Chains A and B, each alone.
Chain A
Amino acid sequence: MTEHFVAPPQWEWYIVWYFFLGGIAGGAYVIGTLLRLFGSTRDEGTARVAFLVSFPAMVICPILLTLDLGRPVRFWHMLINSRTFELNFKYWSPMSVGAWMLFIFGAFATVSFVEAATLTGWLRHPLAQRITRLLSGGFGRLFMVVGALFGLFIAGYTGVLLSVSNQPIWSDTWTLGGLFLASGLSVAAASIALVSRMWREAADSEMKLIRADRVFIVLELALIVALFVTLGAMSGKLLLGRYLILWLLVLAGTVLPLVLQFRSSMGRPAFSVLAPFLVLLGGLALRMVLVFAAQA
């Protein structure tokens, strides 16, 4: 374990919400893509919901990141060197890679949103209809798959970003990238389930989302165990009094939904709202504890 003498970067609420919404945006895109590729025609409605959820979550991300900067007007310095006007890209710096990935993923999420909104009947503009026609065949599937790869990156790299530092806890474990990804997929599945339930009958897909979320939650729990194992004695910093409440929320957002979802598969509709709600709460709490506790 590395002995650290560092100052905290003061990454606080903007960053916590970015990590949370980035997980939803990237994860929802991945889920929408997989539902279309591997689901049946009855899942198309839920797949559209996934793309409709991914876009607004994605749009907020660069706004949060810009507001967090000391000099928000210089947000473009992330991509372009303001002295030489060459492109800035450092593959070994996750923040540099992430800025580009968010930029590119933003384009995919926007186009897929336009397509989903057109298919839903919200958009009738000729350009939107042309985009939708363009994406109706094999090219559309390829487009989604590439977009989903960027989505996976956005959901997971934020954990790597924390680890590629010299901060205690963050740089002492390999688990954060995977943990944020598993949690991102889980909160995305929960968001899609909640939104689907609010405006359409999607009973078929709901069971599929629940089954997928079980996998994501089990992965997340396994990685939380790995987190504590890799941190060893340093875990104490994560378990101080005020963080215990957050860990309780994390547990409530993982273990409880697993239990409730098994129940809801036996037909208890109230649980199918409660379970995804808890997943969202737990996903936020997980990011809060990991961001704040390491800098305390």
Chain B
Amino acid sequence: MARTVGFFTDTTLCIGCKACEVACKEWNELPGHAPEFRDSFDNTGQLDDQNWRHVQFHEFTTPAGGVAWNMMSDVCKHCAMASCMEVCPTNAIIRTEFDTVYIQPEVCNGCRDCIAACPYHVIGFNEKTGLAQKCTFCYSRLQNNLIPACAKACPTESIKFGELNQMREVAGARVAQLRAQGVSQARLYGDKEYGGLHALFLLMDKPEAYGLPDAENAVLPRRNNFRSYLGSLVTAVLGLVGAVIAFRDRGGKG
């Protein structure tokens, strides 16, 4: 059944348990990377071909002088205007009946143009399969009326799943509630960027602190087509004119 789904990740409720990461790997049969000590509670590092959820830990000093974390479970944003889908030359990246962005593994040929395009560092190249991989929004679960594994596993309901419009309402209400309580740094991310994201976030800091481009920097690769081709065209004309002059015989000297 066609419908438009979305995530709303409320970072104020995240306790950094990484149940989302584990549930994601379990369901999607992702073996993960070899463990690596990163001098932080975050031993996942980044979103990539194996990590389709990534719990970020950001240390900050509280007004009282203590140290605390801003945590955020990051995921593919399933952008309404998706940079990866825009450049994909094989049309392996499609929009599903759930309005999510999905890389068809049987079509992808591993050119990695989508990785160069994604502004959220979401897609990774799997050396074993030779494919670009990322969150599928648990496509197989959605097709069977199940909710995505990460949202199902989240014990604090930091990760919420539902119809996108409903998620927008829930997110808007939550931001208003926090603001009313005096939490002035609470802000919604994803309602404006890339035509509206299908993964909304309630952030406690500016987007850049979480590795998210702000609305001004959320731009599509195709913005550069015109000016780059124009630069090439002008160069071509100058080069051709120069070559024609160079190749003409000069008073019999050659």
Q: How far is the CA of A3 from the CA of B219 in the complex (A)?
A: 10
Please name all residues of chain B whose beta carbon is closer than 8 Å to the beta carbon of A208 when the two chains form the complex: 246-247, 254
Please list 26 pairs of residues, one from A and one from B, whose beta carbons are closer than 8 Å in the complex, sorted by A's number: A3-B214, A5-B120, A7-B46, A9-B116, A11-B116, A34-B244, A39-B249, A68-B111, A69-B111, A70-B108, A70-B110, A70-B127, A70-B132, A74-B110, A78-B89, A78-B90, A93-B113, A163-B228, A164-B228, A166-B83, A167-B116, A174-B227, A177-B232, A212-B242, A215-B245, A219-B235
User: Contact: A174 with B240, CB < 8 Å?
Assistant: no
Give the contacting residue for A3; candidates B106, B213, B244; CB below 8 A: B213
Residue in chain B with minimal CB distance to A74: B109
* Chain B positions 74 through 96: 1 when the CB is less than 8 Å from some CB of chain A, otherwise 0: 00000000010011111110000
Interface residues in A, total, Cβ within 8 A: 75
With A38-B247, A82-B90, A92-B222 already in contact, the answer to whether A70 and B130 are too (CB < 8 A) is yes
Please name all residues of chain A whose beta carbon is closer than 8 Å to the beta carbon of B86 when the two chains form the complex: 92-93
Give the contacting residue for B124; candidates A7, A34, A152, A160; CB below 8 A: A7
User: Contact: A212 with B247, CB < 8 Å?
Assistant: yes
User: Contact: B228 with A182, CB < 8 Å?
Assistant: no
- Chain A residues 90 to 126 lying within 8 A of chain B, measured CB to CB, are 90, 92-96, 99
Give the contacting residue for B110; candidates A4, A69, A162, A219; CB below 8 A: A69
User: Secondary structure of the A side of the interface?
Assistant: helix
Residue in chain B with minimal CB distance to A40: B249
B46, B111, B118, B121: residue with the most chain A Cβ atoms closer than 10 Å: B111
Q: How far is the CA of A174 from the CA of B249 in the complex (A)?
A: 35
Please name all residues of chain B whose beta carbon is closer than 8 Å to the beta carbon of A159 when the two chains form the complex: 228, 232
B208, B235, B254: residue with the most chain A Cβ atoms closer than 10 Å: B235
User: Contact: B236 with A204, CB < 8 Å?
Assistant: no
With A3-B208, A70-B110, A82-B90 already in contact, the answer to whether A182 and B235 are too (CB < 8 A) is yes
Instruction: Give the Cβ gap from A14 to chain B, nearest Cβ, in Å.
Output: 11
Residue in chain A with minimal CB distance to B132: A70
User: Contact: B131 with A70, CB < 8 Å?
Assistant: yes
Q: Does A49 contact B (CB under 8 A)?
A: no
For the complex of A and B, list the 5 residue pairs with the smallest distance between their C-beta atoms, beginning with the closest: A70-B110, A215-B242, A70-B130, A178-B235, A177-B232
Q: Does A269 contact B (CB under 8 A)?
A: no
Query: Interface residues of B toward A: which range?
Result: 35 or more
User: Contact: B110 with A215, CB < 8 Å?
Assistant: no
Please name all residues of chain B whose beta carbon is closer than 8 Å to the beta carbon of A214 when the two chains form the complex: 246
Please name all residues of chain B whose beta carbon is closer than 8 Å to the beta carbon of A162 when the two chains form the complex: 116
Q: Does A242 contact B (CB under 8 A)?
A: no
User: Contact: A185 with B109, CB < 8 Å?
Assistant: no
Please name all residues of chain B whose beta carbon is closer than 8 Å to the beta carbon of A174 when the two chains form the complex: 224, 227-228, 230-231
Give the contacting residue for B107; candidates A72, A81, A165, A181; CB below 8 A: A81
Please name all residues of chain B whose beta carbon is closer than 8 Å to the beta carbon of A182 when the two chains form the complex: 235, 239
Q: Does A187 contact B (CB under 8 A)?
A: no
User: Contact: A88 with B90, CB < 8 Å?
Assistant: yes
Q: Does B238 contact A (CB under 8 A)?
A: yes
Please name all residues of chain A whose beta carbon is closer than 8 Å to the beta carbon of B138 when the two chains form the complex: none
Please name all residues of chain A whose beta carbon is closer than 8 Å to the beta carbon of B131 when the two chains form the complex: 70-71
Q: A3-B214, A208-B247, A215-B238 are known; give 16 further A-B pairs, CB within 8 A.
A: A6-B119, A9-B116, A34-B244, A35-B247, A70-B109, A74-B109, A77-B109, A78-B90, A81-B90, A152-B240, A157-B229, A160-B232, A166-B116, A175-B231, A176-B231, A177-B229
Q: Does A293 contact B (CB under 8 A)?
A: no
Q: Does A83 contact B (CB under 8 A)?
A: yes
Please name all residues of chain B whose beta carbon is closer than 8 Å to the beta carbon of A94 when the two chains form the complex: 225
User: Contact: A7 with B254, CB < 8 Å?
Assistant: no
Q: How far is the CA of A35 from the CA of B108 in the complex (A)?
A: 42
Please name all residues of chain A whose beta carbon is closer than 8 Å to the beta carbon of B112 when the two chains form the complex: 9-11, 70
Instruction: Give the Cβ gap from B72 to chain A, nearest Cβ, in Å.
Output: 13
User: Contact: A178 with B231, CB < 8 Å?
Assistant: yes
Instruction: Give the Cβ gap from A160 to chain B, nearest Cβ, in Å.
Output: 4
Q: Does A193 contact B (CB under 8 A)?
A: no
Residue in chain B with minimal CB distance to A65: B111
Q: How far is the CA of A122 from the CA of B248 in the complex (A)?
A: 29
Q: How far is the CA of A72 from the CA of B110 in the complex (A)?
A: 8
Q: How far is the CA of A10 from the CA of B124 in the complex (A)?
A: 10
